[in-house]
Amino acid sequence: MKPPRESAARIGVLVRHNALLMLREPGPLLSRMILPLVFLTLLRPLYLAAQGPVAGTEQAVLGTLVTFSLLALSISGNAILTERLGRTWDRLRGTPLRPAELLAGKAIPVFAALLAQQLLIIGFGVGVFGLPLAHPFLLLAVLLTWTATLLALGTLIGVLVRSMGELSAAFDIGGMLLSSLGGALVPLSVLPAWVAAVAPASPGYWAVHGLHAALDGDTRTTATACATLLTVALLCAGLAAVRLQGRSGRLVAL
């Protein structure tokens, strides 16, 4: 059992290292920050025409947030896959690091990036388009649990795939599928009945459901959505940890 201070020091080193890697190649991160704002600006008039100013703005902002945050899963998966493809994973296996420490060191910078993307979209919607924000703490609770879900799901995919091509396909196809089934871009009420029936199987559904409830001040529905998202996050994180850990508790080859 490692002393808490020693473990925290190791995690701190990994956090700084992984944050530096992200900042050295900021292109993917910047695209995930800028593209949602462009998309929101161009598509919002369509939502206004279909749903009115208040509901249309809400649907445009939340739909953009969920869709592009799912596409930003690539940030999480890349953090692990680049280690594997760069042959640095074997070096990590030879260190005293535990899987939980490795995941924490990679997770913290990615969590911050994913949350920053969502806060930027919400802030843009509030500041530019006048999105009502009467219950910020409820909204923050959903954003935090949704970010944890994205992080865990991206990590799980990152330890399962074998190439950048597989990673790209998983995030592009999976992200759009989960977003569409969740009713992010198009409300479930106007989609075929079978989509509404299977929608709860998508984490994107609970994100959209929880975000709408948070803006409406519906505490019970918000809590249900947050609990569901947290359950998905814990399940994905547990599966990723099992994949990373052998019988001896050491990191395994991937």
Q: How confident is the model at residue 105 (pLDDT cuts 50, 70, 90)?
A: confident
Residue 225 near residue 146, CB atoms below 8 Å: no
Q: Write out pLDDT tens, residues 198-209.
A: 999 999 999 999
Residue 67 near residue 231, CB atoms below 8 Å: no
Residue 187 near residue 59, CB atoms below 8 Å: yes
Eight-state DSSP code of residue 253: P
Average pLDDT, the chain: 84
Is 129 a residue whose pLDDT tops 70? yes
Region 188-212 average pLDDT? 92
Report the 10 Å Cβ neighbour count for 224.
Answer: 15
Residue 168 near residue 78, CB atoms below 8 Å: no
Is 247 a residue whose pLDDT tops 70? no
Q: For the chain, give percent helix, strand, coil, nearest 5.
A: 80, 0, 15
Report the 10 Å Cβ neighbour count for 223.
Answer: 15
Please give the single-letter amino acid code of residue 247: R
Which one, of 229, 205, 210, 211, lies nearest residue 153 by Cα? 229
Is 117 a residue whose pLDDT tops 90? yes
228 backbone dihedrals φ, ψ, rounded to 5°: -65, -45
The backbone region for 183, taken as left when phi is positive above 0, alpha when psi lies in -120 to 50, beta otherwise, is left
Q: In this predicted structure, what is the pLDDT of residue 66?
A: 95
For the entire predicted model, the pTM comes to: 0.86
Q: How confident is the model at residue 22 (pLDDT cuts 50, 70, 90)?
A: confident
**Please, what sign has the CA dihedral across residues 242, 144, 115, 59?**
positive
Q: Write out pLDDT tens, residues 213-226.
A: 999 999 999 999 99
Q: In this predicted structure, what is the pLDDT of residue 91?
A: 67
